[in-house]
Structure 1
């Protein structure tokens, strides 16, 4: 049976991989994104809507348009600044926390009601291994991703009696444009080369590698499926087993 799926920040990166995976599963997929050009490039098989994840009025408008949801992927996020905590600008802190945490909050605030009404649904939060470990030079991002875990567990407890599950995926270092930006900024902050920082991230995993967006998408499809019908309130890392987030600091 086809499900209705909404993915925030679904026009690129992990969100796009999720959208493609759910389309392949035969689902009706809606994505929101702030990047108008990326939305324009999406195939017709994906329903696209322009939206800033932290704009409550717009989020509410789109959720009302979508109507009943089976799967909600609260995926919107930005990397935020790379700096020691005492050097983080307050505006940069607020922007990072707003997109990562408030974006997730607004998605569930306005998307959860229809799920509870029909007594079914799966909410999947994109956190990060930064939501499991402390990350040097990434204080706003880590703080927001830790907070998403608390939000997820609360949603799981509140929505569980209505047949709605909630879980969080914690990606490790994901190959792609966003991670390349992180690598460049960390290299500059630490006086290292991009390759040295990359090798440090890879060396901190037992599998000695980055993950790909499709790895995260595969987990999302599983968590939304009947095969995971009793999986809720869980923090699931897809990271090749991170042991130490920054062994070379």
Structure 2
């Protein structure tokens, strides 16, 4: 195998991606499909799932609910015949507010989806990844390596995802399973637009002002694209990424502060 071939995942990988109906998740799903993988995904929104290619397996699931995750993994492994790659993508932005203004129910929902959801998926897929000596990819955020004022539940959950990733890499590595976290930066799309709008409202500033300030903290002074995240996911599942494990890999243009 030459170096260029080692950058592409082998055909036929059995891949489960959570929250693949839209956003980054959908781009990851479509990238693996383009790489000739067999893909199964889930989402909360059936209308998003309905727009996917019919060849992609799909089901409704809330990763914050154990019963939903149990059913998702059972159906995905039945449909695919096992798992080689699991992409823990599901996550929510949560509230933008001062710590004394955040309601307990909102804090708990962020933790349930962003952290507990990744635990629940890892809990049920680890046995399959051991069998295939596969790959677990956890989506974190640059907010998992930097402080993020007014976004404490989100940042806390993403720092925890990095800790979960490094711990699982140590735990599952002897069985041949690689575990890494991908830390997206400011990803162009509807989600970051909502985040900027909410932050501008919380701070009493304009959308344009907050957007300029955000980009001023990025060395490359630009947003990244969802396809950049998908490209990293593909590389980590390719032979060239075969010795990368336990890493928190930022795809962000070098975000220096939040």
Query: Same fold by TM (over 0.5)?
Result: yes
Report the counterpart of residue 161 of structure 1 in structure 2: 174
Question: Is structure 2 residue 189 aligned with structure 1 residue 176?
Answer: yes
Where in structure 1 are there 5+ consecutive unaligned residues? Answer: none
Q: 1:213 aligns with which of 226, 236, 239?
A: 226
Per mean C-alpha deviation after superposition, the further-off stretch among 175-184 and 60-69 is: 60-69
Report the counterpart of residue 16 of structure 2 in structure 1: 6
> Mapping of 1:133-152 within 5 angstroms?
133-152=146-165
1:129 touches 1:171 (CA, 8 Å); kept in 2?
yes
In structure 1, distance between residues paired with 2:15 and 2:152: 31
1:175 touches 1:213 (CA, 8 Å); kept in 2?
yes
**RMSD value, Cα:** 0.9
Could you report, residue by residue, the CA deviation over 1:88-139 in whole angstroms, capped at 9, with x for unpaired residues? 1111000111110011111111111111133x10000000000000101100
How many residues are treated as equivalent by the alignment?
244
Report the counterpart of residue 26 of structure 2 in structure 1: 16
Q: What TM-score do the two structures reach when normalised by structure 2?
A: 0.93
SS at match of 1:23: helix
Q: Moved runs in structure 1, 4+ residues, more than 6 A?
A: none
In structure 1, distance between residues paired with 2:31 and 2:50: 19
Could you report, residue by residue, the CA deviation over 1:222-241 in whole angstroms, capped at 9, with x for unpaired residues? 11111100000000000000
Report the counterpart of residue 8 of structure 2 in structure 1: none
Where in structure 2 are there 5+ consecutive unaligned residues? Answer: 1-10
Q: 2:91 aligns with which of 72, 77, 81?
A: 77
In structure 1, distance between residues paired with 2:60 and 2:76: 13
Question: Is structure 2 residue 247 aligned with structure 1 residue 234?
Answer: yes
In structure 2, distance between residues paired with 1:195 and 1:103: 34
Shift of 1:142: 0.2
